[in-house]
Amino acid sequence: MNKSLLQDKLSDWLYDNAYVGKGINRFLTGALILIIVFLFLPWVQNIETIGTVNTFLPEERPQEVQTFIAGRIAKWKVKEGDYVKKGDTIAVLDEINSEYLNPDLLNQTEIQIQAKEQSVLSYNSKIGAINKQITQLESNRDLSLQKARNKIEQEALKLKAEQAELVAAVKNAEIAKRQFERDSILGLDVLRSPVEIENRRVKWQEAIAKQLTLEAKVRIAQNSYEMAKIELQNVRADYGEKLAKTESERFSAISGQLETEAEISKLRNTYSSYSIRNGFYIITAPQTGLITQTLIRGLGETVKAGDAICTIVPGGATLSVEMKVKPVDLPLFQRGEDVQFVFDGWPTIVFSGWPQATYGTFPGTVYAIDNAIDAKGEYRVLVKPNFDKKPWPKELRVGVGARGYVMLNRVPMWYEIWRNINGFPSDFYKTSTNQDSKIRKKTSP
């Protein structure tokens, strides 16, 4: 009885094991078929990158509102969370620099400018008077020179007349001498009486005396002529000195006028600086946006020029994504390349190899790639929204994390596994500029 029972149990166990073995074989066969089918399924290669949401334009990014001058916080016009428009007052400063504490500084500077302008007018009048004086001196000089030249001509004519009379006197003396000598010889022959001879002697002496007198007159006329020429030189020198002195006064007046005009220019520049500085006491919003953080708290705190007092985030900015790409993946990125994003906080179902089954991603287009590597050994790639396909969420804010997927070539699953095992780079395609067809291009391993 016991032997029969044992045989029955053994038969049941053999039957059950045979059935389980067939099930395992069927399972292993089905799994192998599924693996083989899976290896030949299409797979879209992709590159996954991590980035953050930023703005497309630099002026739309969060910025610190800075002071232009040093001062003391007198009043706050906003608080954190306020929405301000461009030009709205954020805070008011009080002056702390002793050079600008005078409340009547602008009026006093303007009075100084007006006084200097009157000084310039005085210099103009002085220069005009000096110019008239120079004109009068030149006129008097010309008259004096003409008078001196006329006197030279008169003295020259007088000298010629005296010289002509001297020549005649010399001739007369020579004639009287010859007559005296001739009558003296004739007197020896008693042809001339002693009285006639004496008369000849007297006439000869008178001719010599007249000659000497005329020689003296010629010397006097010569001296007068030379004195007239010296007088002409004196007139030139005298008026030259007077004109030079007057010209010096004129140039001094012009120099004073130019210096005063330079001072006026400096004062006007100072006045403009004071006027512009008065506008810096009121700190205004550089653009429309939200006040997110005040860096200076309370009233009466002193700030330096260039210190930030708060942060403003512009509203309505065009967003973009700043991605970090490894050097090995950089050759696969080109301007105009499509990128799919998953943003933090938005529900998404991602199948990186099967983009058709992905849900909740947002498209973008690469518009800039850095040429220099950063300190972390990565390149920066900027991506803007592709509104033609799907707009990005309106609730998206700057700084939100983003995970990007760049779709590359479609390959079998076995090839992708083999590529990753061997460490080969991904394949990619790009659109030709002349054709719409896609040309497959492989990178060398």
Q: Structural domain boundaries of the chain?
A: 1-39, 42-59+317-441, 63-95+281-313, 105-280
Of 311, 310, 308, 314, nearest to 68 (Cα)? Answer: 308
Q: Crossing angle of helices 413-422/2-39, nearest 10°?
A: 80
- The CATH architecture one would assign to domain 42-59+317-441 is Beta Barrel (2.40)
Write down the pLDDT at residue 188: 62
Spatial strand order in the sheet of 282-284? 282-284, 89-94, 71-76, 302-303
Q: For the domain with range 63-95+281-313, which CATH number is right: 1.10.8.290, 3.40.50.300, 2.40.50.100, 3.40.50.150?
A: 2.40.50.100
Write down the pLDDT at residue 96: 87
Write down the pLDDT at residue 283: 92
Write down the pLDDT at residue 443: 34
- Report the distance separating Cα 201 and Cα 178, nearest Å: 10
Write down the pLDDT at residue 265: 93
Q: Are 410 and 53 in contact (CB under 8 A)?
A: no
- Report the distance separating Cα 196 and Cα 186, nearest Å: 11
What's the first-to-final CA gap in the chain, in angstroms?
75
Residue with structure tokens 């050079």? Answer: 99
Q: Does the global pTM surpass 0.75?
A: no
Q: Are 78 and 290 in contact (CB under 8 A)?
A: no
Q: Are 319 and 392 in contact (CB under 8 A)?
A: yes
- Report the distance separating Cα 214 and Cα 401, nearest Å: 127
Output the tens digit of pLDDT for each of the chain's 445 residues: 455 666 666 566 555 555 555 666 677 777 777 777 666 666 555 677 888 888 877 777 888 899 988 999 999 998 888 899 988 999 999 988 888 888 888 899 899 999 999 999 998 999 999 999 999 988 988 898 898 888 888 888 888 888 888 788 788 778 877 777 776 776 666 566 677 777 777 787 887 888 788 888 888 888 888 888 888 889 889 988 888 999 999 999 999 999 999 999 999 999 998 888 888 899 999 888 888 888 887 788 888 888 898 989 887 777 888 888 888 778 777 788 788 888 887 776 655 544 554 566 788 888 888 888 888 888 889 998 888 888 888 878 888 888 887 766 565 667 666 666 766 555 544 444 333 333 333 333 2
Write down the pLDDT at residue 268: 92
DSSP-derived 3-state class of residue 75: strand
- The CATH architecture one would assign to domain 105-280 is Orthogonal Bundle (1.10)
CA distances, 382 to each of 124, 257, 319, 336, 377 (Å): 65, 61, 11, 11, 17
